[in-house]
Structure 1
C-alpha cells in the first residue's frame, strides 16, 4: 500500500521571516513528506506539485508532458495559445522552429568571445559606482545594467532605448504591479519590438535580431522571440547578481573563501544558481496518463514543478540549505532540463563569473547599508525571485 499523500492546497506566497534565500517553508515541508503532493491550482483545478529533484528532472525530459500555454489546466477558463515566437510555451515541432535558429548564436564558444566586452561593461559600472560612493543601490548600479547592456547589444537594441525598455520589462516581470500597469507595460514593449523588427528589416546591423530578420520568420514571430530573449536575458541574470551578492553578504565565510581563492568562482556561480533558483516554478500538462513517483497523473492535469525545492533536495544535495562555494555537486536545475534548457545559460554563467569576481575585488569592505531584514524582496508572485533594491556601502 502506498504512503498517505501529502496535500498542498495553494502555493505559498511568502517566505519565512529571516530566510530570504530559502523556499517557502510549506514547500520545504512538502518535500519532507515526499517528492510529489496533491495540489489545487488557483482556479480550483486539481493538480500536482512536484518538489523532488529526480521527479522534476524526469518530467522536464518527458515528451508526454506539454509546455503549451493553452493546455495549462490551472484556471477556470481556457487559456489562449502562446503568441508566435514565444517558444517557452510551445512543444515540438513549433518549439524547434524558433529555437533552432538561435542555438548557434548562443554556444559556449560564442559566449566566451563576449568575455572582454562583459569585463568592459562591468568595469564601467563599478567605476561609476565607486565614483558616486561610498554607497549605492547595487541593483540599479550593478546588477541591472550589466546584463541589460549585453543582451541589448546582442539583439541590436539602440543604446538610447535601453533605459525605457528595461523599465517596461521590470514592470511586467517583477510582480506586485496592478493588472493595468502590467498590460500597459506589455503593450508598450510589444509596440517597441514591432518598430525594432521593422528597423532591422529595413536596415540590418551586426546583431542577432538582424540575422533572424534575414529568414522566413514573420514579424510577429520575431517580436515573440525578441521578447523571450530580452526578458530572460536581462531579468534572470540581474536578479542572480543582486540576490547572489545579498546571499554572499549574509554568508561572510563563503564570501571570504571566494575572495581568498578567486579560482573558486566557477563553483561559486553554480552553487549560487542552485541555492537561489530565482526561476522558481514551471508548469507542465500531461498529454496522457503518466505514472510519476508511483502516482498516476491523468491526461489533461497540470503539474507544478518546484525548481527551488528540487535544488534543495537532500537526496540529491548533501546539507542542501547551506551555501557552500566549495560544493562540487553539479547537475542543478536552475536552467531547467530537456528541450527547454535555458538557451542563455552559458551567457548568464559568464556574466556572473565576471561580475561577481570584479565586484569582490573592487570592494573588499562591501557590506549592507541597511539591516538585512529591511532589504526589499520581490514577491513570490513574481516570475523571477530577487531583491527590489540592495543598499550597500564600503570603506574609502
Structure 2
C-alpha cells in the first residue's frame, strides 16, 4: 500500500500548517526529515532538513502507531510554520521519497473506513461536521460522528439475529416436538425494531433540513415590502428595493444563522395577475418556492388576506407598520419595528420542529431503514402462519439485517463511496 501525504490545514499564510502522512513508510519519512522517530503520541520539537541537509523548518512532530491513528495505519503529523514557502518545500521533499505520493480527496478518511476506525455513517457525520455552519448542524454532526447511528444499527442487528436464530431452531427441529413456542418472543423483538425504525424514518426529514438548511419564504403582493424586510433580516442590501411594483422578478436567497439553525430566507416575486412574460415567470417561481418552503411569512396590506392559503405555523403580518401604526400585528422592514419579534417566531417554530429529528440524517439512511422495515413487516405477517412459513419469515429477517447493515457500510456501499468522499478536502 502507498504512503500518502497532504496539507490538512487551509492553504495560504497562517501561523501553523499541518501536514499529515499515513501508510507503511510514514515513520521512515519522519526519520529522513529529522534523524529519528519521536515517541508515539507525544509532541516533539525537531529540526526538519531536506535530502541535502539544508534546514527546512523547526516543527512539532506527532507520530502514531498502527491501529492507534485516525486512519488505523502508521501515521505522522508535521506542525510547521504556516507560510506557503515552508509548506511547499516540505510537500516537495515528501513527494521525492520512495513510496510516498500525494493523497486524493478524502483518502485519509476512506482508509479509516477500510481499516475499521470509522463506519460509513460516521464518515458522513465527519463530512457534515466539516461543512457545519451553525450550532444545530455541529451538534447533529457530532451525534453521527460519535457513532450514535451505528450503535442503534448494532442493537437492531442483535435483536434481529436473535429472532432469526429462534426461527432457525424451529426449522431445524420441524420433525420433532419443540418445547417452547418462539413466535411471541420473535414477534416482540421484530415489533420493537419496527417501532424504532418508524421513529427514525419520521425524523429523517427534519434532520436533513438541519443538515442542509430550512427555507423560509417571504410572500406577498407587489410592493408590499418583502425585499425591504429581507434586507432588514439579512442586515445588508441583499435585494433591490423601489417604489415600483414588480422589481423582484426572481427568487432571491439569503443564507443565515437564526439561533443556531441554518435558514435560507427567500424573497419572492410579488403575487399578482400580469401580462408581462418575464414577471409571470417570476411569479410562477415564487408560488413554487413558497409551496416547497418549510415556513412562509405572509405580508399583507391592512384589511387584506394572503394570496395563498397559509398553512399551520405560517406567519401572517401586516406590512409597512410605519405607515399604518394603528394596525396590530404589524412589521416594518424600513424602521425595524417587529423584525426582532419575527426572528424569534421563526426561530421558535423551526426549533420546535428540530426537536423531532432523529440520529439518521440522510435520504440514504431513510432508504436503508425503509427497506428493512418492509422486510420486517412481511416477517410479522408470516409469523402467525406457524412452522410452514418459518423459513420464509427467517429469510425476511435476513433481508432486513442486510438492509440495516448497509447503514454503517457492512455491505452494499461501493456505489455511494465516491459521492461521499468527493466532498472531502485533500488533507481529510
Q: Which TM-score band applies after superposition, normalised by the shorter structure?
A: under 0.3
Higher RCO structure (Cα 8 Å, ≥6 apart): 1
TM-score, scaled to structure 1 = 0.24
**Where is the helix percentage greater, Structure 1 or Structure 2?**
1
**Where is the strand percentage greater, Structure 1 or Structure 2?**
2
